[in-house]
Amino acid sequence: MVDQLPNLGREQEMLAVMGLASMDDLFSDIPEEVRRTTPLDLPPPQTEEEIWKDATRLLGANVPINSRPSFIGAGLYANHVPAMVPMLATRGEFLTSYTPYQPEVSQGMLQAMWEFQTMVSELVGLPVSNVSMYDASTAAAEAITTAVRVLNRKAEQKDTIYVSELVPEHRFSVIENYTQGGGITIKRIPHDENGHVSLEAIKEAAGSCAVYVEQPNAFGIADEGITQVKSIIGENTALIVGVNAVSLGLMEAPGNYGADIVVGEGQPFGIGPTAGGPIYGIFACKENFIRQMPGRIVGLSHDSDGQRAFTLTLSTREQHIRRHKATSNICSNETLIALMGAMHMSLLGPAGLETLAIRNSAAALRTKEEIVSIEGISLEHPDSAHFNEFVVRLPDSAESLCLFLDQRGITPGLPVDILFPNFDPNLILISCTDQTSIGDVELLSAGINAWIQEVRK
């Protein structure tokens, strides 16, 4: 029996008040031709205890990242989330509230999101942040359409944007879906053998609406050249930078090297990889993009007594007011996960953020050193700087290494051809986090050695 319905067993009493005889009377307005005549072909209801049992059994069949030495990342990272975060974020007042349309009874979430906007703004070095996008890919896609709306009038290359060719397939596909309706042409920017964006090719992007690059890029490369891009493309072409948010504890805020819009996955602040969602995308921009940006924004104001108060603002950009002329269709976003992000960021503080970034990069450094000493494998970009991940060339397919080590309880990374289907199957992306231990690195190294012996047989 379902135990979630307070009025179960009282239907007749309530129907009688209305002068109705049966539940069927409540559905008399559904024309017979469209009525369902057979009951749902679904199992009977379960109790909480039965659901818990099934959930623990089924989800227990999954292999958690941190249950073993694991080097899978590529934009989602299993770093530690302080216990305070989920405990406070799931307080019912936060968890079960809707978008704060009534500011008088929603000051808590509004203030928390205004604080979130401030922390994101500080993190990326830009003045304005929204309350969140769905993820990094939709944030990138909507950054591009925002830039086109703002800059197309002045653009010499109308409706044209440039995207780094090192944006992986699954992210690029989202960008294509979001831009095709607006008739936007996407050109790709090539990279040199070090995995650096070609500054020569960037020159061609001047006069277009926007350039989208990632820092560090999908191969974990920290690309110095990106700091020069804005001076090449000029004022009327937007520089959009996709970031690994944690890297900004160590690496320069893109706003300080000319980025007009910064986007990225906020996930490592606040929540585990959670199979890719719910997570949250960050979106921050310069002031001249505010009126064309997507998503919710919180502003400071006051109440009728003059007390400080917060409210959603600039909603005239949004779908519920502007309908088909809205800047975006986004309505539900990822506020609760952004709240978790804000909690995590505020607990870390500026010094803790730097420490976290250093732990990530130290883990990658340690792993890289250990791996390159193995005979038969080499770094794909040996002359480049890496933040927390890097690509290694193997003597056989990455898939075979993954299979071999999986049976030994190790996840060595992600075959690059999963991210880029046309790339060499012998490349693997190895990702590290603050959770990578010396023991993990040693097991990975020993495992790769054992595999190489096997390959050579």
Please list every residue from 105 through 144 that binds another protein, using CB under 8 A: 105-109, 111-115, 117-119, 121-123, 127-129, 131-132, 134-138
Dist. CA 226–CA 214, nearest whole Å: 9
Of 148, 99, 119, nearest to 328 (Cα)? 148
User: Contact region for another protein (CB under 8 A) — 84-92, 186-194, 231-239, 371-379?
Assistant: 84-92
Residues in 172-231 at the binding interface with another protein, rule: CB under 8 A = 173-174, 176-178, 180-183, 222, 224, 227
Dist. CA 353–CA 114, nearest whole Å: 20
Chosen residue from 274, 288, 373, 378 binding another protein by CB under 8 A: 274
Residues in 229-258 at the binding interface with another protein, rule: CB under 8 A = 248-253, 256
Q: How far is the CB of 72 from another protein (least distance, A)?
A: 5
State both tokens at 354. Answer: 């730097």
Q: How far is the CB of 20 from another protein (least distance, A)?
A: 8
Interaction of residue 146 with another protein, rule CB under 8 A: no
User: Contact region for another protein (CB under 8 A) — 154-162, 200-208, 344-352, 447-455?
Assistant: 344-352
Q: Which is nearer to another protein, 16 or 156 (CB)?
A: 16
Q: What DSSP assignment string belongs to 54-120?
A: HHHHHHHTS--GGGS-B---TT-------THHHHHHTSHHHHT--S---GGG-HHHHHHHHHHHHHH
Residues in 436-455 at the binding interface with another protein, rule: CB under 8 A = 436-438, 441
Q: Which is nearer to another protein, 92 or 193 (CB)?
A: 92
User: Would strands 128-129 and 185-189 be described as parallel, antiparallel, or unpaired?
Assistant: unpaired
User: Contact region for another protein (CB under 8 A) — 156-164, 197-205, 277-285, 447-455?
Assistant: 277-285
User: Contact region for another protein (CB under 8 A) — 205-213, 268-276, 371-379, 448-456?
Assistant: 268-276
Of 206, 205, 222, 204, nearest to 214 (Cα)? 222
**By CB under 8 A, how many residues form the interface with another protein?**
209
Residues in 54-73 at the binding interface with another protein, rule: CB under 8 A = 54-67, 72-73
Is there a contact between 232 and 197 (Cβ–Cβ < 8 Å)? no
455 burial (CB, 10 Å; 0-12 / 13-18 / 19+) is middle
Q: How far is the CB of 148 from another protein (least distance, A)?
A: 12
What distance, in Å, lies between the first and last C-alpha atoms of the chain? 61
CA 238 to chain centre: 21
Chosen residue from 361, 377, 391, 443 binding another protein by CB under 8 A: 361
